[in-house]
Structure 1
């Protein structure tokens, strides 16, 4: 089963939030939708969920219009969090499971599994308002997929989570993928996107700057990131042919090259009479590419 976004446009009077958007997500894939605030990510999510209609274009699931499919096939974690503050953790999850038509035994199995998985065993009878922000977020996350949807949308799922809980969430997302769930998510933390996504779409002001695999995006830039640990000084490295920029990070230098072809010449110079502890040529990180594509331009 495939989700297909084809030539989708969304206008609000004189403002166009999404402009001729195209991408596909295959079953069992984790797909990242990234961009600055106001890039059109949440608008796209809402159109997929049939909460808003596209101005033009079409959104289909396995060839059928998205508004014709069983709504229980979809799960959604909105960026604006919201759970019932006076309701206990376990009661909330049973409530959302019943809303999705799940049977009591089925709900119990899922609630017990995910409460333990997210280390909420001691909190299951606590009211939501007494939980930390991170634990509240875990409860809402479980509620978004307790019914085992075929397609799950996570809008900024890592926001506000500490490193330990971020890892718990990453492991959960990978488990859901292994179970065949298709997942679309957004995050401002590019390392999370880089670790989890098979493919991604980069949005800027509603326009797709890139849609495809992460490796293909990186190949557009080439291997222009050179990390060196050497006795040479920064002033010497800056003067080398092919070097655009040099940054010092702790005990090593990170060079941005005009092109990866300059790496050999730099190695020959650095190696001549100098001790080289590290010489590593690699692609730019997704965070660096993101900043290059959209950074410094206010939405």
Structure 2
């Protein structure tokens, strides 16, 4: 796994990263989120060795990260980084060859990736003739063509329509299933919430929250219960120990003073008629993000 320990970075008197610490596990998809200028891209560039940290250390599988390790990484920058006048397939083959692959293997990897990312029909077109969404897919292919052992992706879903997002998601899930650690940043919190196993939230150069997605949702969710009945739920206000937060016909959101009071609601609801839904309400990633960065 990839481990960051107390990474610090300054530009003059400005502290850009303040003891940044988190882990990207093997076979885990880690979403890295934060506002503009929070420090996401700087952190990624330090991982890749493009920038030098002023303090801290990075380890891969328990050993200090080396230049040789980084050559086995796949990176997709937020900015377009492909040669615009070069054909897509030729470019992927060229990049694979730079990583030491022979001509046949490089061609095989490029062809397979282009087909997998629905770019097979565009293989012999120059990058500049592709739509922005297809250029983004080609950029992702370039990060994957050498079968990297670690993936670092900066805004990989930018400019993709919903269908293309699903295609890319499936490709990335295949990589994590093979044990590859994947760190990706995105402003599209709904995609991060749907995709990531773990979450790292950064603000003003500090890690504000990190860990498994579901654990963070539990930790940052208020103890509220949502109920949906086939009939009217107005009687809920009469139950001792219950405080109704919101109400609309057969739907209500409430807080309870105790688990006994919560169960009393369920028992009474079952006596009144059909219970369509009854469960604790969990915070969305957007709500967690607003809470920890404010």
- Per the normalisation by structure 2, the TM-score is 0.86
Q: Is the 8 A contact 1:227 1:252 kept in 2?
A: no
Counterpart in the other structure of 1:77? 76
Which consecutive unaligned segments of at least 5 residues does structure 2 have? none
Cα offset, 1:246, TM superposition: 3.0
Taking the aligned partners of 1:259 and 1:146, their CA distance within structure 2 comes to 56
Taking the aligned partners of 1:252 and 1:131, their CA distance within structure 2 comes to 51
Q: Using the TM superposition, name which of 59-68 and 87-96 deviates more.
A: 59-68
Distance 1:3 1:271, change over 3 A: same
Distance 1:277 1:27, change over 3 A: closer
Q: Is the 8 A contact 2:223 2:255 kept in 1?
A: yes
Q: Using the TM superposition, name which of 188-197 and 220-229 deviates more.
A: 220-229
Counterpart in the other structure of 2:28? 29
Cα offset, 1:142, TM superposition: 0.4
Distance 1:257 1:129, change over 3 A: farther
Cα offset, 1:166, TM superposition: 0.6
Counterpart in the other structure of 1:255? 253
CA RMSD of aligned residues (A): 3.0
Counterpart in the other structure of 2:208? 209
Taking the aligned partners of 1:128 and 1:254, their CA distance within structure 2 comes to 53
Taking the aligned partners of 1:254 and 1:215, their CA distance within structure 2 comes to 24
Counterpart in the other structure of 1:158? 157
Taking the aligned partners of 1:288 and 1:264, their CA distance within structure 2 comes to 27
1:185-233 per-residue CA deviation (whole Å, 9 max, x = no partner) reads 1122233223332322211211112222122212213563533334548
Taking the aligned partners of 1:259 and 1:77, their CA distance within structure 2 comes to 49
Taking the aligned partners of 1:194 and 1:36, their CA distance within structure 2 comes to 16
Q: Using the TM superposition, name which of 41-50 and 10-19 deviates more.
A: 10-19
Taking the aligned partners of 1:195 and 1:70, their CA distance within structure 2 comes to 30
Alignment of 1:1-299 (within 5 A): 2-222=1-221, 224-230=223-229, 231-232=231-232, 243=243, 245-246=245-246, 253=251, 255=253, 257=255, 261=259, 263-264=262-263, 266-267=265-266, 273=272, 276-294=275-293, 297=294
1:236-270 per-residue CA deviation (whole Å, 9 max, x = no partner) reads 87x9965584387xx98573747784644554676
Q: Is the 8 A contact 1:225 1:254 kept in 2?
A: no
Distance 1:260 1:81, change over 3 A: farther
Taking the aligned partners of 1:179 and 1:215, their CA distance within structure 2 comes to 22
Taking the aligned partners of 1:79 and 1:260, their CA distance within structure 2 comes to 48
